[in-house]
Amino acid sequence: MNKMELKIKISMKRFLISLCCIVAIVDIAAQDATLMKLWYNQPASRWVEALPVGNGRLGAMIFGDPSKEVIQLNENTVWAGQPNRNDNPNAKEALPEVRKLIFEGKYKEAQDLVNQKIISKTSHGMAYQTVGNLKLNFPGHDNYTNYYRELDIEKAVTTSRYKQNGVNFSTKIFSSFPDQVIIVRISADKAGSITFSAGMDRPTAKDNIPTCKVKSNGNNELILSGVTSDQETVKGAVKFIAKVKIVTSGGTVSSTDTVLNVNKADMVTIYISMATNFNNYNDISGNAEERVNAYLQNALKKNYEQILKDHIADYQNYFKRVSLDLGVTDSIKNPTDKRIEQFAKGNDPQLVSLYFQFGRYLLISSSRPGGQPANLQGIWNDQLFPPWDSKYTVNINTEMNYWPSEITNLTELNEPLIQMVRELAQTGKQTAKDMYGAQGWVLHHNTDIWRINGPIDGSYWGMWPMGGAWLSQHLYGKYEFSGDKEYLKSVYPVIKEAALFFLDFLIEEPEHKWLVVSPSISPENEPKGHAGSTISAGTTMDNQLVFDIFSIAIKSAEILKTDNELVTKMKESLKRLPPMQIGNWGQLQEWMSDWDNPTDKHRHVSHLYGLFPSNQISPYQNPELFSAAKTSLEARGDESTGWSMGWKVNWWARLLDGDHAYKLITDQLKPAPKAAWGGSGGTYPNMFDAHPPFQIDGNFGCTSGIAEMLLQSQDGSIHILPALPSVWKNGSVKGLKARGGFDISFTWENGLIQKIVIKSNLGGNCRIRVPNEVVLDNSSLLKPTSGVNLNPFFATVQIKKPLIVDSTKLNSLNLKTTFMYDISTKAGETYTINCFKK
């Protein structure tokens, strides 16, 4: 990286001397564009070193190789199979027997029966598939010097450049949402220097069978086309086409059957258009060819500069809403891969802000209105059958992808998820009826582009009918941040039907007469002594999820003034749910019985759903549960898969322990193992999260966790700096969102709040909780408080008192003192609070 790109504006006023280093803090307004780059001194040698671009629909991974450039391509509707369902009609008949076996404690027998009668016998979901690769061969470009490549996440453009035989070459690549094409621009500082050949390919199927056709059409175009794979019982039927058009200034373009040759051009622009016949989960009658041509023709009408300008403006409309400054040190002089290697040594706070913003970059690039939601790999996948098919695992992974969407000010990007949930509510209605004879809709632990709802992979992992209850929380969450009643009305039927399923599916358990979900599992974890089976009834996570789905259905109905009778029924059922329980070693019980093993390190810690993303466990409302949740999390340990560590950052933030949350960030930002599988999670050189293998949820989970360390709004107030680690002494953040329609920006020094700027979008009481007692310059608007909060968006959750085993000892809490103030706000007004330490 050259010096020009490192010009950082250091505000002299604001540098601090910490134990062993000097940390220069950059003024937030002047946060230099150069800080928002991932950059390297060598081309990618593996896919997880390549750099991702995307517009929600079209993705590419760019290797930046001077002589053999690879641009790996994705289109978000290229999935194996075709419209299909995977319900098992035998479930209904087997259900009473399965439940009986569970209540008799015959778990292994119950699990076997589920495997025979309830798990799908047709398909376990279809795979998200790569489109293929565009390969550019530059003869003689092997002895380059001055190599540099970057992904600029402030512009969403990659650049690679190098010098060959005295000529400087540069390639810029981006995926444009406004123009729906991927653009490659190759330039050189000497006329007539650009000579290369372009070809395309795609991984072959078993026995080397080709999976696509490639041809050139004499019009400076290359066309790759194919049909997606068959998988299990489902025939592949998605037709896809990628069309690549080369436009040069100077030089010539010639072609063979399958290759385009560019000779001595001054400048080259490559337009990549991709499309399929997919219309929706139930209809693949679209015309891929017409679409691919329409996108290409439209883009060709515009010049490169205009396409780039429109792309950057569109992208920045999202990206620029939030900025985060945690300080800048000399570490930024190192390339990104080095910084990841050295992060654990400390002294690189800017890598955390980069990682945070990279999470936002990935969401903007993989989830746009009109497209599919981000799957296990977002939209980036180079295989025909990627890990877990790169589909949607909804017992944590899909939800985690969307955790940053509201708090980091990207609400529109929820649209693909919301649309998927609407569709799952349609397909899942039949699943509920056919499999369980229940009303409403149900989803088990996975789905795909065809919106399958049946249980897959075997009872041990898949007998979990809770996907609808969890995904529906996201629908309501968007309302909590926006207060948009029209929107709430539009999603209420989905929320209501998700709740209706549980009204029918809950069953009374014999011991306490609680209403419980059965059969189910606490995702993928096996209770102590259960020898190979996970199945049980009334797991803690299920109880929390049912509590939440009933609660949001009730709240929505009350806000929309509808469904009185149903509300009464749900309130009755709520009373009969099991309480949370605190077991023998002071832990929050994961199951209805105390089966928790204190040495269990399982990556799923599902019973802490109540702590995050839900808000049923609070230091201020129910300290016993808060203490028990902490005991459970401590026992589970830190290092784990990528997504598990991402979740733990959020939990430690909710446990108000910034240093422990930061420890998890350090674990997550360590280099991922070199082997594709195995070992604990970490971060690849391209900053993708390693499960391992690559899984994007950890990126999003950690991004959300960083935001939760700075701001929370689920527990009766807007809590500013709830979990600030001691290493982030000074900093600032701009543009985060809080429930109740507030935009929040603030700066802190020495761990104390300095200035807060709050924009109120809905008006109403704004209650803030801050770490330091402050005197406020506009005190007429502001009063210290501890009383009832009148803003309904800050209502705290009323849960049943927990059951606590007599002999148990609870850890003490040692909560830091905080201070609360109420600001009476008007919609549209901005409130600036200067805080002075008393």
Q: Give the integer Cα–Cα distance in Å for 557 and 563.
A: 6
Q: Which is nearer to ligand FUC, 63 or 461 (CB)?
A: 461
The reply to whether 376 sits near ligand FUC by the rule CB under 6 A is yes
Nearer to ligand FUC, 295 or 464 (CB): 464
Helix (H) or strand (E) holding 151: strand 145-152
* Closer residue to ligand FUC (CB): 148 or 461: 461
Tokens 């049946």 appear where?
454
- Residue 135 or 604: which CB sits closer to ligand FUC? 604
Strand 221-227 to strand 803-804: parallel, antiparallel, or no bridges (unpaired)?
A: unpaired
**Residues within window 235-274 making contact with ligand FUC, judged by CB under 6 A:** none
CB of 388 to ligand FUC, least distance (A): 4
63 vs 647, which CB is nearer to ligand FUC? 647
Which residue, 459 or 712, is less far from ligand FUC as judged by CB?
459
Q: Among residues 408, 473, 533, 695, which is the contact residue for ligand FUC, using CB under 6 A?
A: 695
Taking the complex as a whole, the smallest distance from the CB of residue 691 to ligand FUC amounts, in Å, to 6
Smallest gap from Cβ 100 to ligand FUC, in A, equals 28
Does position 641 interact with ligand FUC (CB under 6 A)? The reply is yes
Distances (CA, A) of 634 to 156, 600, 656: 39, 11, 14
Give me the least distance between CB of 647 and ligand FUC, in Å please: 11
Residues 771-790 close enough to bind ligand FUC by CB under 6 A: none
- Taking CB under 6 A as the rule, does residue 397 contact ligand FUC? yes
| HSE value, Cβ hemisphere, 13 Å, CA-based, for 832 | 2
Q: Which is nearer to ligand FUC, 296 or 545 (CB)?
A: 545
Q: Which of 221, 448, 480, 524 binds ligand FUC (CB under 6 A)?
A: 524
Minimum CB separation of residue 674 from ligand FUC in Å reads: 19
Within 593-622, which residues bind ligand FUC (CB under 6 A)?
603-604
- Hey, which residues does 22 pair with through a beta bridge? 17
User: Does 459 participate in binding ligand FUC (rule CB under 6 A)?
Assistant: no
343 versus 460: smaller Cβ distance to ligand FUC: 460
Q: Are 359 and 327 in contact (CB under 8 A)?
A: no
- Dihedral of the CA atoms 830, 836, 837, 838 (nearest 10)? -110
Cα dist from 45 to 49, 134, 675, 717, whole Å:
7, 16, 14, 48
Nearer to ligand FUC, 327 or 462 (CB): 462
Residue 353 CB-density burial (10 A; 0-12 exposed, 13-18 middle, 19+ buried): buried
Residue closest to 85 by CA, chosen among 444, 545, 480, 497:
444
The least distance separating ligand FUC from the CB of residue 176, rounded to whole angstroms, comes to 30
Q: Are strands 145-152 and 157-164 parallel, antiparallel or unpaired?
A: antiparallel
Considering only 388, 595, 700, 794, the residue that binds ligand FUC (CB under 6 A) is 388
Q: How far is the CB of 445 from ligand FUC (least distance, A)?
A: 7
- The gap from C-alpha 208 to its chain's centroid, in whole angstroms, comes to 35
Q: CB of 681: closest distance to ligand FUC in angstroms?
A: 10
- The DSSP call for residue 155 is T
Q: Closer to ligand FUC at the Cβ: 643 or 662?
A: 643
Nearer Cβ to ligand FUC, position 366 or 695? 695
> Which residue spans within 730-808 are E strands per DSSP?
731-738, 742-749, 752-760, 764-770, 774-776, 782-784, 803-804
- Specify whether the CB–CB gap between 561 and 645 falls below 8 A: no
Q: Confirm if 242 and 274 have CB atoms less than 8 A apart.
A: yes
Task: Give the residue, chosen from 120, 393, 427, 556, that forms a contact with ligand FUC under the rule CB under 6 A.
Answer: 393
Q: Shortest Cβ distance from residue 385 to ligand FUC (Å)?
A: 14
Q: Does 714 bind ligand FUC (CB under 6 A)?
A: no
- For position 691 contacting ligand FUC by CB under 6 A, the verdict is yes
Task: Name the residue nearer to ligand FUC (CB basis): 372 or 754.
Answer: 372
Tell me if 602 sits within 8 A of 524, measured CB to CB: yes
Interacting positions 809-838 with ligand FUC (CB under 6 A): none
Structure tokens, 770: 């801050």
Q: Which of residues 72-91 bind ligand FUC (CB under 6 A)?
A: none
Strand spans (E) along 418-510: 446-447, 507-508
Local structure of residue 303 (DSSP, 8 states): -
- Contact between 272 and 73 under an 8 Å Cβ cutoff? The reply is yes
> Residue 457 Cβ, how far from ligand FUC at the closest point, in Å?
8
Cβ proximity to ligand FUC, 461 vs 728, nearer residue: 461
Q: Is 470 in the site for ligand FUC (CB under 6 A)?
A: no
In whole angstroms, how far apart are CA 473 and each of 488, 588, 636, 646?
A: 12, 22, 26, 19
User: Of the two residues 182 and 400, which places its CB atom closer to ligand FUC in the complex?
Assistant: 400
Quick one: 169 or 388, whose CB is closer to ligand FUC?
388
Task: For residue 375, report the phi and psi dihedrals to the nearest 5 degrees.
Answer: -90, -165
- In the complex, what is the shortest distance from the CB of residue 449 to ligand FUC, in angstroms, rounded to a whole number? 16
Report how far residue 313's alpha carbon sits from residue 531's, in angstroms, rounded to the nearest whole number: 57
Nearest-approach distance from CB 390 to ligand FUC, in angstroms: 9
CB of 461 to ligand FUC, least distance (A): 6
**Element at 360 (helix H, strand E):** helix 349-366
With CB under 6 A, what is the number of residues at the site for ligand FUC? 12
Smallest distance, Å, CB 382 to ligand FUC? Answer: 17
Single out the residue of 90, 371, 54, 281 nearest to residue 183, CA to CA. Answer: 54
Residue 128 in contact with ligand FUC, rule: CB under 6 A: no
- For the CB of residue 741, give the shortest distance to ligand FUC in the complex, in Å: 34
φ, ψ at 615 (rounded to 5°): -130, 40
Per CB under 6 A, residues contacting ligand FUC are 376, 388, 393, 397, 461, 524, 603-604, 641, 643, 691, 695
